[in-house]
């Protein structure tokens, strides 16, 4: 008997997780995109209090009203997105928000544009919907910042949507305001949905973040608490769009997840409504780490741009597979850029979500094999 459903025949398991699982206990793991910081104590305390107060029952399918209202206020304040709490669905991380949105809005045979290079989940989520992932090639010369001209070149007669991630995983690129506006105008004029993955929104260095939904009503904004608040294991995110779109996403979310656990939602509300100093402190530390890694790589002759956001460096190498293999021998784990698309063939991704001391040691180890 063939136990495999047709929809998973072309699905690949994560190359990032593969690299993570092959790491030895002594290795410095620069493969996984997870903040090494502990979840801030006031958020942990809120989670404990919620459990003590018996927040262990179902919430509404869309999520706890108090959290959804806080998210709506945050979106208005930070992102110039005018939505109500009823237009927000709390999800099991940004990953579920993306998956449910694609399942709700994309048909088999539709074409969905994705940046190349891009986070590897995008292609697989599109494939699971029976649709086609069409690469929008970004260039190293342009610091991997997607332009409307890149999208115009990739567009097909069957294009229904695009997924855009800024700040970007794996490149750290942050889109310019004029590019966000021009891509939004193009999507509006061509009736194309934008899935805007903004999970790294708060991890940005000396730049402003601009949200597509403030310019384009066809946008589904996807965000969460994993990166900004170091809450990766608590698995909580959200999405928002106009009401008629959210009604369709709710159908998938409701029958797949039912709801996110209630106590975590209470803790997430405290994260949003309390002081944001923990976020700014963490971002400042990431900036120091970024500078260390980029300057060290460039000093070794390994060419890379200074990224404006997230916690990744995407550096050039003529033989990335060999270099990554040699790095494993020095107990440093990285991810070959080809995992993120054809434009990553001559690149390697480093996650600097490690301590400054570990990063310094990792750079010393890499220097041995350059």
Output 102 or 17, whichever has higher pLDDT. 102
- Whether omega for the bond prior to residue 117 falls within 30 degrees of 0, making it cis, is yes
Q: What is the pLDDT of residue 23?
A: 62
Q: Specify the CATH number for 41-273; select among 3.40.50.2300, 3.40.640.10, 3.40.605.10, 2.40.40.20.
A: 3.40.640.10
Q: Strands (DSSP E) along the chain, which ranges? A: 28-29, 88-91, 111-116, 132-137, 159-165, 193-197, 219-224, 237-240, 312-316, 332-333, 335-336, 347-351
pLDDT over 70 (residue 337) = yes
pLDDT over 90 (residue 277) = yes
pLDDT over 60 (residue 20) = no
Provide the percentage of residues in the chain whose pLDDT is more than 90: 92
Q: What is the rounded average pLDDT of the residues 96-121? A: 98
What is the band of 7 on the pLDDT scale with cuts at 50, 70, 90? confident
Residue 194 backbone class (left: φ over 0; alpha: ψ -120 to 50; beta: rest): beta
Q: What is the pLDDT of residue 288?
A: 98
What is the band of 15 on the pLDDT scale with cuts at 50, 70, 90? low
SS3 content of the chain, % helix, strand, coil (to 5): 45, 15, 40
Q: What is the pLDDT of residue 18?
A: 62
HSE-up of 14 (CA within 13 Å, CB side)? 14
Q: What is the model's pTM?
A: 0.95
pLDDT over 70 (residue 300) = yes
Q: How far apart are the first and last CA of the chain?
A: 50
Checking DSSP bridges between strand 88-91 and strand 237-240, what pairing results, if any?
A: antiparallel
Provide the percentage of residues in the chain whose pLDDT is more than 70: 97
What is the band of 254 on the pLDDT scale with cuts at 50, 70, 90? very high
Q: What is the pLDDT of residue 3?
A: 77
What is the band of 324 on the pLDDT scale with cuts at 50, 70, 90? very high
pLDDT over 90 (residue 237) = yes
Q: What is the pLDDT of residue 26?
A: 85
Taking the C-alpha atoms of residue 128 and residue 126, their distance in angstroms, rounded to an integer, is 5
pLDDT over 90 (residue 263) = yes
With a CB cutoff of 8 Å and minimum separation 6, the contacts of 80 are 211, 214
Give 125-165 pLDDT, tens digit per residue: 999 999 999 999 999 999 999 999 999 999 999 999 999 99
To the nearest 10°, report the CA torsion of 262, 44, 98, 105. Answer: 20
pLDDT over 90 (residue 9) = no
Q: What is the rounded average pLDDT of the residues 286-306? A: 97
Give 158-210 pLDDT, tens digit per residue: 999 999 999 999 999 999 999 999 999 999 999 999 999 999 999 999 999 99
Residues in the chain: 370
Topology given in CATH for the domain delimited by 6-39+277-369: 3.90.1150
Q: What is the rounded average pLDDT of the residues 324-348? A: 95
Three-state secondary-structure class, residue 160:
strand
Sequence spans of domains, the chain = 6-39+277-369, 41-273
């Amino acid at each position: 008997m063939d136990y495999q459903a047709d929809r998973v025949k072309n699905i690949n398991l994560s190359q990032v997780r593969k690299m993570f699982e092959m790491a030895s206990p002594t290795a410095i793991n620069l493969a996984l995109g997870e903040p090494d910081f502990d979840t801030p104590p006031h958020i942990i305390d809120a989670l404990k209090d919620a459990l003590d107060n018996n927040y262990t029952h179902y919430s509404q399918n869309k999520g706890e009203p108090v959290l959804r209202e806080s998210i709506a206020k945050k979106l208005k304040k930070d992102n110039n997105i005018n939505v109500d709490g009823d237009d927000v669905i709390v999800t099991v991380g940004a990953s579920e928000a993306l998956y449910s949105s694609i399942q709700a809005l994309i048909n088999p045979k539709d074409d969905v544009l994705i940046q190349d290079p891009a986070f590897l989940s995008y292609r697989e989520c599109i494939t699971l919907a029976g649709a086609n992932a069409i690469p929008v090639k970004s260039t190293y010369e342009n610091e991997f910042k997607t332009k409307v001209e890149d999208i115009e070149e990739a567009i097909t007669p069957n294009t229904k949507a695009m997924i855009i991630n800024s700040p970007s995983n794996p490149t750290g690129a942050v889109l310019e305001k004029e590019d966000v506006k021009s891509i939004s105008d193009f999507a509006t004029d061509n009736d194309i949905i934008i899935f805007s993955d903004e999970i790294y929104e708060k991890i940005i260095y000396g730049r402003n973040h601009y949200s597509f939904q403030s310019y384009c009503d066809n946008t589904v904004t996807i965000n969460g608490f994993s990166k900004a608040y170091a809450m990766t294991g608590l698995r909580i995110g959200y999405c928002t769009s106009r009401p008629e779109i959210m009604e369709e996403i709710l159908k998938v979310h409701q029958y797949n997840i039912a709801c996110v656990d209630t106590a975590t939602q209470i803790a997430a509300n405290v994260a949003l409504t309390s002081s944001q100093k923990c976020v700014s402190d963490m971002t400042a530390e990431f900036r120091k780490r970024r500078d260390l890694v980029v300057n060290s790589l460039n000093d070794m002759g390994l060419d890379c741009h200074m990224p404006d956001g997230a916690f990744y460096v995407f550096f050039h190498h003529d033989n990335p597979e060999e270099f990554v293999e040699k790095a494993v021998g020095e107990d440093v784990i990285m991810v070959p850029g080809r995992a993120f698309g054809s434009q990553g063939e001559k690149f390697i991704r480093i996650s600097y979500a490690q301590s400054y001391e570990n990063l310094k040691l990792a750079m010393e180890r890499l220097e041995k094999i350059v």
